[in-house]
Amino acid sequence: MFWVRFRSSIILMAIAIATILLGGNVMFAVVLAISLIGLMELYRVLGIHKSILGVLGYAAAVGYDLLIYFGREDLRFELLVIFMLVLLGAYVLRFPKYTADQLTMTFFGLMYVAVMLSYLYRIRILEDGLVLIWLVFIGSWGSDTCAYCVGIKFGKHKATPKLSPKKTVEGCVGGVVGAALLGLLYGSLFREQLAALFNPAVACMLICAASAVISQIGDLAASAIKRNHNIKDYGKLIPGHGGIMDRFDSVIVTAPIVYLLAVLMKI
């Protein structure tokens, strides 16, 4: 299993690097594809992936990303309002086929997966996006690696025994500290490319530390959904890892934080 996971990780990393370096249409297409697959995985868990609610969710995800692609981000809120109205229409016209809970989760899925992941593309199209976007992966996958290593070596106190018995307080702290140090190093190495930040090294350290905290919450939230529905993985697309939601659960919540903090910390 280790070598299967390792091989998949290498392939994923190669795809991620190529996608980020190419940027533009390639980045947009990959992010949209990941969003749709992740949304389908979540909707499948909720039992609405083949329903009219699911189809409306996929359409809204495409529409949301296209607004960003064509520079009409000012209409994103209006699209969400229209999506809610259309969902209400489907709910009323097909009553009692769908429940209020399914309606709520359809909207939740769009926000949780598609809207949050769209920040990957939004970061990349920033003026210094090619450099900033790597902070997302330091804050998510980097912190996860640090947390795992520290937890294995020093972990004694369970952080969330009912939700994730293997996670320890020491591991969680190690993940945040490790991501912060990696961010500090990254900001120091690419100080010139990140000159727009008030203090590149310190800014990257703070961004990665905050991202690491949110990353762990995102990871646990995704696990909570799986536990609520008694499943092990969201899918089988990535050998050794599960589905898109299993591998990108922390990236989903980290991307918006990196974007917001990077914008706020610009000079």
Share the mean pLDDT of the chain.
91
Residue spans of alpha helices (H) in the chain: 2-22, 24-46, 52-69, 76-93, 100-109, 116-124, 129-132, 134-137, 143-154, 169-189, 200-228, 244-264
Q: What is the pLDDT of residue 182?
A: 95
Per-residue pLDDT reduced to its tens digit, 199-208: 999 999 999 9
The reported pLDDT for the residue numbered 240 is 66
51-69 pLDDT, tens per residue?
999 999 999 999 999 999 9
The predicted structure's pLDDT at residue 3: 60
| pLDDT value, residue 78 | 97
What pLDDT does 164 receive? 82
pLDDT tens profile 146-174: 988 888 888 788 888 888 888 889 999 99
Q: Which of 217, 165, 196 is nearest to 265 (CA)?
A: 196
Instruction: Identify the pLDDT of residue 1.
Output: 54
Quick one: which of 249, 106, 259, 82 has its CA closest to 164? Answer: 249
Whole-structure pTM value: 0.92
Instruction: Evaluate the omega torsion of the peptide bond into residue 200 and state whether it is cis, within 30 degrees of 0.
Output: no
Structure confidence at residue 4 (pLDDT): 64
